[in-house]
Amino acid sequence: MISVTQAVKYFVFIVLFAPQLALAFGKKGHQIVAMIAQDNLTIAAQRQVFALTKGQSLAQISTWADSVRNTKKWRGTAPWHYVSIADDQTWQTRKRNKKGDILQALTQLEATLANPNALTHNKAEALAFYVHLLADLHQPLHVGYRHDSGGNKYKVLWFNKPTNLHKVWDTLIIDYPQLSAQQYGKLLRYVPPKQQQQWLTGNYFSWATESKTMRQFAYKLPANNHNKPANISSQYRISNQIRLEQRMQQAGFRLAHKLNLLFPATALNKYSQRNEQSLLNK
């Protein structure tokens, strides 16, 4: 059986060296959300997060959940990245995936992070998943239709190049300005305090409802010509880039807020006291 020390080493190795797969919100989108969150952590939360990540930033761990989803150990987590719901369904009437979904996963991960008795390596893994999935929740096509797999089966043309609608929203719109994640994050990190406070209300279900409502704009495409995929227009890109940028901001500030609540100063004091006591007992 793998030891706790080995598990933590495995986690750090994967974060640092595993190939990054573009299977969710897109590497850059996740990093932008994580950077906004990092900038808004309290000192206490910052220290506790760094203790779990071995000094890595939230941006560095933000895509780990994608890089391991096809491995034997984590293959069962694929359904965690999304939830399917029809326009006329509510969260109570939707057909639930027996293997789980993003809403169930976030709730379970939060419980692990809040559990003072959870093992360190379990918390480290939970944190990496949590950072990733909270961003995914804010990408409208991760709250998608079952029939087209959240736009993955919806073929379109991106400036005459074949792709699918999900990839347009995950990656292509965000990549279009040709900014690095750091540059993009700096542009998006300021939001008026009043607006920030408004965004911090609600819960996973209400934030998912925002994505469900916004996904209608993803499908407002030019009519298909003789059954050929629609070609994404410049106007489509511009208007939806603004929407995606707001979703990244909302995800970033909400992630920071949740982590600040999960890692308060009182928990840091207890952690320090335990360490001091262990040193005195040596």
pLDDT digits (tens, 9 = 90+) for 110-164: 999 999 999 999 999 999 999 999 999 999 999 999 999 999 999 999 999 999 9
Mean of pLDDT values over 90-117: 96
42, part of any domain: yes
What is d(CA 163, CA 173) in angstroms, rounded to the nearest whole number?
Answer: 12
231, part of any domain: no
**pLDDT at residue number 4:** 33
Mean of pLDDT values over 4-32: 53
Non-local CB neighbours of 54 within 8 Å, separated by 6+ positions: 8, 12
**pLDDT at residue number 3:** 35
116, part of any domain: yes
Residue 10 in this model has a pLDDT that exceeds 60:
no
12, part of any domain: no
Mean of pLDDT values over 92-102: 94
What percentage of residues in the chain have a pLDDT greater than 90? 80
234, part of any domain: no
Mean of pLDDT values over 58-84: 95
Task: Assess contact for 105 and 80: CB atoms under 8 A.
Answer: yes
266, part of any domain: yes
- pLDDT, tens digit, 9 for 90 and up, residues 180-227: 999 999 999 999 999 999 999 999 999 999 999 999 999 999 876 667
Task: Please report which residue ranges of 26-67 form alpha helices under DSSP H.
Answer: 27-39, 43-53, 58-61, 64-67
Indicate the helix (H) or strand (E) that contains 84: strand 83-84
Question: Vertex 24, ends 18 and 29: CA angle to 5°?
Answer: 90
**Domain at 73, CATH number:** 1.10.575.10
- Its domain, for residue 61, covers 29-83+96-140+172-219+246-280
8, part of any domain: no
Residue 277 in this model has a pLDDT that exceeds 80:
no
Candidate from 12-21, 74-83, 87-96, 265-274 with smallest mean pLDDT:
12-21
**pLDDT at residue number 271:** 54
Structure tokens at 82: 């999304």
Confidence of residue 228 (pLDDT cuts 50, 70, 90): confident
Residue 108 in this model has a pLDDT that exceeds 80:
yes
What is d(CA 193, CA 46) in angstroms, rounded to the nearest whole number?
Answer: 20
Residue 266 in this model has a pLDDT that exceeds 90:
no
167, part of any domain: no
Task: Assess contact for 141 and 166: CB atoms under 8 A.
Answer: yes
**pLDDT at residue number 70:** 87
Q: What is the pTM of this model?
A: 0.86
Please give the tally of structural domains in the chain: 1
Confidence of residue 264 (pLDDT cuts 50, 70, 90): very high
Confidence of residue 26 (pLDDT cuts 50, 70, 90): confident
State the chain's mean pLDDT as an integer: 88
**pLDDT at residue number 30:** 98
